[in-house]
Amino acid sequence: MTFGIHAIATDEAIHPAKLGPAVEERGFGALFLADHSHIPADSVTSYPLGGELPRQYYRTLDPFTALGMVAGVTENLLLGTGVALLVQRDPIQTAKEVASLDFLSNGRVIFGIGAGWNREEMRNHGTEPRTRGQLLDERMAAIIEIWTKDQAEFHGKHVDFDPVFAWPKPVQRPHPPVYVGGQSAKAIARAKRFGGWMPSATTDAGEVLEQMALIGPETPVIVNAVPPEPDIVAAYREAGAAGITFHLPNVPEAEALRVLDGLARLIG
């Protein structure tokens, strides 16, 4: 099982060029960064977990830019999005961003994707929240066509383009692994279709097997933001998770390193 770190990289937290090596040096195998293009001012009080949205959400660095910097200062660390909001991203440009990162990092990308929850944010990108699942499906399918075909084309309801040339192609074959975030039945079906599942962790070790049973053993699972508790970590290991991540708070360098030290002791 791979142990990773999940973070929301911002201009107020530890710099990605310092974070990447710190994560790798402490024995973690992956770093996943979250994605928000912006936060509409009228949605700050609509945080799905309750209360006011933490400021880190609207100070988020672009994950691909940050991961590109991490790639240049690490050797083996896997570089993931946790998750990229593909319903807010152009599929042709996103295909190039992910393939470029995979090429430059020599095949270290994990592409986590999700439909998102902030409806106001989606609408600012021209995305209709009610049909975002269909849009996500088509954009991901179109990206795979671009990654895997010399002349790629796609004709759907939401994504439509005639044959195109687009390089670089990803180093990983047939393409970087795709993990789908979300807990709904549609998200689970999407995960089975595209390759992997990235659910949020349960906070009860007794619920781990029930959660993992939702997807079945054929689909690899990377569990996001697992509480740093030995019994929960052990439960996910025994249940067959391919990987888990621990969430790193949005804190400056000195405090971030202390948190990473504690997490390293846990996995050690």
Residues 197-208: tens digit of each pLDDT: 999 999 999 999
Percentage of residues of the chain with pLDDT beyond 90: 94
185-194 vs 132-148: helix axis angle to the nearest 10?
10
- Those residues with Cβ within 8 angstroms of residue 160's Cβ, 6 or more apart along the chain or in another chain: 154
Alpha-carbon gap, residue 253 to 159, rounded angstroms: 41
Specify the pLDDT at position 51: 75
- At residue 209, the pLDDT reads 97
Proportion of the chain in helix, strand, coil states, percent, rounded to 5: 40, 20, 40
Closest C-alpha among 123, 138, 162, 48 to residue 86: 138
Q: List pLDDT tens digits, range 111-144.
A: 999 999 999 999 999 999 999 999 999 999 999 9
| For range 143-148, the mean pLDDT | 98
223 neighbors 243 (Cβ within 8 angstroms): yes
- pLDDT bin (cut points 50, 70, 90) of residue 46 is low
pLDDT recorded at residue 45 = 66
Q: Which two tokens stand for residue 110?
A: 């994990």
Q: How far is CA 203 from CA 122, 208, 266, in A?
A: 29, 9, 17
Residue 268, pLDDT > 70, answer yes
Compute the residue count for the chain. 268
Q: Is the pTM of this model over 0.95?
A: yes
Could you say which architecture CATH assigns to the domain 2-267?
Answer: Alpha-Beta Barrel (3.20)
Distance CA 49, CA 35 (A): 17
Question: Strands 109-114 and 178-181, how do they pair?
Answer: parallel
